[in-house]
Structure 1
Amino acid sequence: MTNLVDSRGRPLHREALHEPQSARLGWVRREWAEHPSRGLTPQRLHHILEDAEQGNLTAQADLFSDMEEKDGHIMSEMAKRKRAILTLDWEVHEPAGATPQEKRDTAMLREWMSELPAFDELLLDCMDAAGHGFAPMETEWHQVGSVALQRSFTHRPQRWFQTLQHDGNALRLRDGSAEGQALWPLGWVVHQHKARSGYLTRAGLHRTLAWPYLFKNYSVRDLAEFLEIYGLPLRLGKYPAGTTEREKATLLAAVAGIGHNAAGIIPDGMAIDFENAAQGTQEPFEAMIAWCERTQSKVILGGTLTSQADGKSSTNALGNVHNEVRHDLLVSDARQLAATINRDIVAPLRLLNIPGADGRRPPEFRFDTRRFDDLRTLSQALPRLVDAGMQIPVDWAHERANIPKPAAGQAVLVRLAAPTQQPGQSELAAATSQLGAALAVLSRSTGAALVARPIATATGQVDRLASDAAPTLNDWIDQVRDLVERAKNLSEVREGLLALAPDMRIEDYAAALAEALTAAALAGRADILDEARA
């Protein structure tokens, strides 16, 4: 196996198939995080970021972990960014013009990929690289028959790693030496996320988020102090002349403790007065916190309107624009992650289990990032475009609708035939005719006599109904049109319609409808008599 190399030309070593590389560095596993966010200052933050640029990633990795743990807004926005990848379908595609052997190889890889353990968790762990710049997962292998497969992927803290001082992209496992250990090719899945150009140590989003995180912490702390000082009334202790130092100390302790305990005792002859709280406002602190959170949303999701509403500029149109930006980020994340999976998962599976595989034409893992048209919109637009003379390929229509083409002999949906009607007879006319027939039968059974008179057809009664009801309907339409033209917003339209409802009487419309139905019923009865005479 030592004669095999990975996609980067590095030799594949047998050790990675039997034990994790980090198992030989037990002291790294026993290290505790230092939580540098405690007491963080601009000077200290600058020092942490500067150390990371020189290869020491420990403090920066601990700070980035603290930021997601302590800042709820960063945690929420990063969760949206990470979990968006789970909404995408994926597939292992064969190379273009694949030979029968390449098709069989791709089918095997597709089956092995579908059996990977906790694949969704692996994707989430890989997306941790969006904040840190990289995310390392240690791979453990096992043998299933004659096939070597990954048994587990374990996320390792970024603090376990370092880079070379002269190469910020050369990731190493810390072992106490100056340069650290190179990662075993078969032992790791290392996703490197490029949020921006530059070395690995500066590519993560958290490098940019660290500053608004710091400023927000200052504002939250200052707001808490403001509420403690200015939100409570001033307690003023008064003592008489000749009071001893011990009595003064007792009074001071009572004044200090009464604000939180709401109880206390003081010597007789002393007094505690409650003055109005000092004047002040929390608005500057809240404004600073809001600015920091808006900046965080812009950095992580490319906008703010998909995260929160500012009450002034938040509209559906602007929200849609920001969603477009989020989709662009999702496509970028998916492509970067697919490249990592092809390099660190698909390629090792292929090299270890498919002898003689052509390295120039590998199968490719891809996420499906296409967005499909709304079926209702597409179904309305396509017939009109076809009627206008456009030649639309069937394959294109299936792709846009995300509907697969049926395989040979596969059952497909068909359009049901429309129910037959007599020429010129509407559904309402058919219903009234049936009602008239029923009434005619009932009339004969009770011995009632029918008067022969010219009766219009049911279709004519429908026309008459429309004519008789037109004045009432037109009056309603005029009232609503006048209301809409005078209204300044939708709230006024809604309130105006509620006010108009009592005046929009339906008695005239109901009378016209009743007359038409009665005439239709009589017409049905007349038809029955005509058939009986014939």
Structure 2
Amino acid sequence: MARTSQILGPDGRPIERGTLTQTVAAPAVTGVRRPFSGTIATGLTPEWLAGILKRATEGSVADYLTLAEEMEERDPHYAAVLGTRKRAVAGVEPIVTPGDDSPRAGEIADFVRRSIVDQPWFNGMVMDLLDALGKGYAVCEILWETGKQWTPSACPWRDPRYFVLDDTRTTLRLAADGEPKGVELPPGKFIVHAPRIKSGLSVRGGLARLVAWSYLFKAFALKDWVAFIEVYGLPLRLGRYGQSATQQDIDTLVAAVSGIGTDAAAVLPEAMRIEFQGISEGRGGAELFQRLAEYLDGQISKAVLGQTMTTDDGASLSQAQVHRGVQIDVAQADAGDVARPVNRDLVRVEVDLNYGPQEVYPWLSWPITEPEDTQAVTQQLTGLVPLGLRVRADDVRERLGWAAPEDDDEVLGGAAMPTDTDTPPDADPAPAPQRATGAGQAAKGDDDSDPVEAGYAAIAEALDHDDWEVMAPSVNAVLDTAAEAEDPDDLVERLAHLVEDGRLDSQALADRLARSTLLARALGDAPDPDPAPDADGDG
């Protein structure tokens, strides 16, 4: 007899450790849990489909689950969009967050990460649980192994037809021979995922139920389309024979007309001929079936993904961004839905078995965030930084997802802008023209100064402190506008108004720059007062 522990399962019932190491819901060749079933989709009619959906609501879900499985196998579009929605979660790297900041919580989180997330069966289990998106619920059985610690060795998918609903249609029970209403699921043995796609019964929330009618009508459209192509895809072959033709000649002509559709060749007596006639009655029929099939594919995309832009066609970048946002919302909801049963039925049970009940438990999740628009970030930086906006490089790297380079890393880009190391961090540096003028005076008093530096000093001398104030009205107008703007787009619009209003008058600045450029050119054209000797020593 299995020993009953004091550890309680998610439903409050005690966990029997002896049951945990046994396989409970494995398929069998005989009995109620057979690994194969019949077909429902073949010959499906509207009346039959209505009956299947009605019986599923009443609790008889076997036919509905079989149809949901066949829909994924027979409709490429439904399989593609449903697979896209599953992989939007399963393709994200999961994280384990400790329950609190204590060392004990960190140790438990590391144990969960090693024993569950890092195991080779984990990603497959996530995909199996996401099978609930189509069918309404999914179940994985936890196969525990024990030694020094209790850890799951695998979590295989169990066919949802191996389970039945209780009288309230809210709780799953394991199908068993001789038990029409099934038996209770042993606590700590199963992960049951029932996503909240819509309110109400889980069996009515599966996407397969929503898509079933579109699938049926599309199947009719494709069947009629193929029949249409078979009839009207080739032109009418009309054979003609003369009055003197014998029955043997007629039989030869009939065989030639019948075989020319596939053989594309025929041999006839000289007195006979074959004509190909176009059939105008069938014109436009192919486009009708195609439009119907494409319309139904669009409805399936909306039902599964919430949009059609990324699966069919798009009209603009802005629409694609909006539809991409809908996809992010759907993926975030799916990730939150699948995290709840994994933490409830697997993580918490494992922690209780190894560490005992805890006040707080680690949380396993799939973080899905909106991708950063790097182009918008760079546009903001290139537009605002030159105006005086100061931004931390670490914040920019975090937004772009780039790491800070190490000392021995090969890096791209130029060196950082030089800083005045002699100026205390809290002191306001002197205005640029004052510093340049001081440097020019120092260079002027030094007879051994470099000619290039002397030229820069002369230019700085030309731009005295009063000249620098020429830029003040324009710079202040830009800074005031940046402070009033609500967002980057508003700033761009306000800057355009500055130009239109004439408040950015750059004529005075242009005059000063022209004078400085002329002075620099004159200094560059001046002869060297102390030329270096050439290679022959002649100077």
- With normalisation by structure 1, the TM-score equals 0.69
Measure, in 1, the Cα distance between the counterparts of 2:249 and 2:37. Answer: 48
Which residue number in structure 2 is paired with residue 477 of structure 1? none
1:346 lines up with 2:347 in the alignment? yes
- Pair 420,23 (structure 1): closer, same or farther in 2 beyond 3 Å: closer
Which residue number in structure 2 is paired with residue 204 of structure 1? 206
1:127 lines up with 2:127 in the alignment? no
CA drift of 1:231 comes to 1.9
- Pair 285,99 (structure 1): closer, same or farther in 2 beyond 3 Å: same
Q: Does the Cα contact within 8 Å between 1:82 and 1:124 map onto a contact in 2?
A: yes
Which residue number in structure 2 is paired with residue 434 of structure 1? none
Which residue number in structure 2 is paired with residue 140 of structure 1? 143
Q: Does the Cα contact within 8 Å between 1:130 and 1:194 map onto a contact in 2?
A: no
Which residue number in structure 2 is paired with residue 182 of structure 1? 184
Aligned match for 2:107, one of 104, 111, 116: 104
The share of aligned pairs that are identical, in percent, is 29
Q: How many residues align?
A: 435
Equivalent position SS for 2:229: helix
CA drift of 1:242 comes to 11
Measure, in 1, the Cα distance between the counterparts of 2:132 and 2:97. Answer: 25
Q: Does the Cα contact within 8 Å between 1:234 and 1:278 map onto a contact in 2?
A: no
Q: Does the Cα contact within 8 Å between 1:55 and 1:168 map onto a contact in 2?
A: yes
The AA in structure 1 aligned to 2:145 is H
1:229 lines up with 2:231 in the alignment? yes
Which residue number in structure 1 is paired with residue 364 of structure 2? 365
CA drift of 1:185 comes to 2.3
Aligned match for 1:303, one of 307, 313, 328: 307
Measure, in 1, the Cα distance between the counterparts of 2:526 and 2:143. Answer: 83
The AA in structure 2 aligned to 1:171 is L
Equivalent position SS for 2:143: strand
Measure, in 1, the Cα distance between the counterparts of 2:353 and 2:261. Answer: 71
- Pair 241,171 (structure 1): closer, same or farther in 2 beyond 3 Å: farther
Q: Does the Cα contact within 8 Å between 1:140 and 1:151 map onto a contact in 2?
A: yes
Q: Does the Cα contact within 8 Å between 2:41 and 2:67 map onto a contact in 1?
A: yes
- Pair 349,246 (structure 1): closer, same or farther in 2 beyond 3 Å: farther
1:322 lines up with 2:320 in the alignment? no
- Give the alignment of 1:479-518 within 5 angstroms: none
- 1:367-411 Cα deviation digits (max 9, x unpaired): 2233364567557569969x9999x999999986768999xxxx9
Measure, in 1, the Cα distance between the counterparts of 2:396 and 2:275. Answer: 80
The AA in structure 2 aligned to 1:217 is A
Deviates more, 1:521-530 or 1:131-140: 521-530
CA drift of 1:236 comes to 3.2
Measure, in 1, the Cα distance between the counterparts of 2:138 and 2:173. Answer: 13
The AA in structure 2 aligned to 1:353 is N
- Pair 251,106 (structure 1): closer, same or farther in 2 beyond 3 Å: same
Equivalent position SS for 2:290: helix
Q: Does the Cα contact within 8 Å between 2:162 and 2:174 map onto a contact in 1?
A: yes
CA drift of 1:150 comes to 0.7
Equivalent position SS for 1:168: coil
CA drift of 1:249 comes to 7.5
Which residue number in structure 1 is paired with residue 338 of structure 2? 337
Q: Does the Cα contact within 8 Å between 1:234 and 1:277 map onto a contact in 2?
A: yes
- Pair 52,194 (structure 1): closer, same or farther in 2 beyond 3 Å: same
Equivalent position SS for 1:12: strand
Aligned match for 1:163, one of 158, 162, 165: 165
- Give the alignment of 1:64-79 within 5 angstroms: 64-79=68-83
- Pair 456,297 (structure 1): closer, same or farther in 2 beyond 3 Å: closer
Name stretches of at least 5 consecutive residues in structure 1 with no aligned partner.
Answer: 426-436, 438-454, 461-515
CA drift of 1:57 comes to 2.1
Measure, in 2, the Cα distance between the counterparts of 1:179 and 1:245. Answer: 72
- Pair 524,66 (structure 1): closer, same or farther in 2 beyond 3 Å: farther
- With normalisation by structure 2, the TM-score equals 0.68
Q: Does the Cα contact within 8 Å between 2:28 and 2:34 map onto a contact in 1?
A: no
- 1:114-154 Cα deviation digits (max 9, x unpaired): 333322222112111111111222221212x4111111121
Equivalent position SS for 2:238: strand
- Give the alignment of 1:470-485 within 5 angstroms: none
Which residue number in structure 2 is paired with residue 115 of structure 1? 118
- Give the alignment of 1:4-43 within 5 angstroms: 4-23=7-26, 25-27=28-30, 28=32, 30-43=34-47
CA drift of 1:77 comes to 0.9
- Pair 102,66 (structure 1): closer, same or farther in 2 beyond 3 Å: same
Q: Does the Cα contact within 8 Å between 1:25 and 1:175 map onto a contact in 2?
A: no
Measure, in 1, the Cα distance between the counterparts of 2:99 and 2:163. Answer: 36
Name stretches of at least 5 consecutive residues in structure 2 with no aligned partner.
Answer: 421-434, 440-450, 461-517, 535-539
Equivalent position SS for 1:179: strand
Measure, in 2, the Cα distance between the counterparts of 1:191 and 1:306. Answer: 27
Q: Does the Cα contact within 8 Å between 1:117 and 1:151 map onto a contact in 2?
A: no
CA drift of 1:326 comes to 0.6
CA drift of 1:212 comes to 0.9
Equivalent position SS for 1:50: helix
Aligned match for 1:57, one of 58, 61, 66: 61
- 1:214-235 Cα deviation digits (max 9, x unpaired): 1111111111122221121112
- Give the alignment of 1:255-334 within 5 angstroms: 255-263=257-265, 272-279=274-281, 280-281=283-284, 282-309=286-313, 314-334=315-335
Measure, in 1, the Cα distance between the counterparts of 2:4 and 2:86. Answer: 37
CA drift of 1:418 comes to 3.4
Q: Does the Cα contact within 8 Å between 1:237 and 1:270 map onto a contact in 2?
A: yes
Measure, in 2, the Cα distance between the counterparts of 1:119 and 1:189. Answer: 13
1:47 lines up with 2:51 in the alignment? yes
1:215 lines up with 2:217 in the alignment? yes
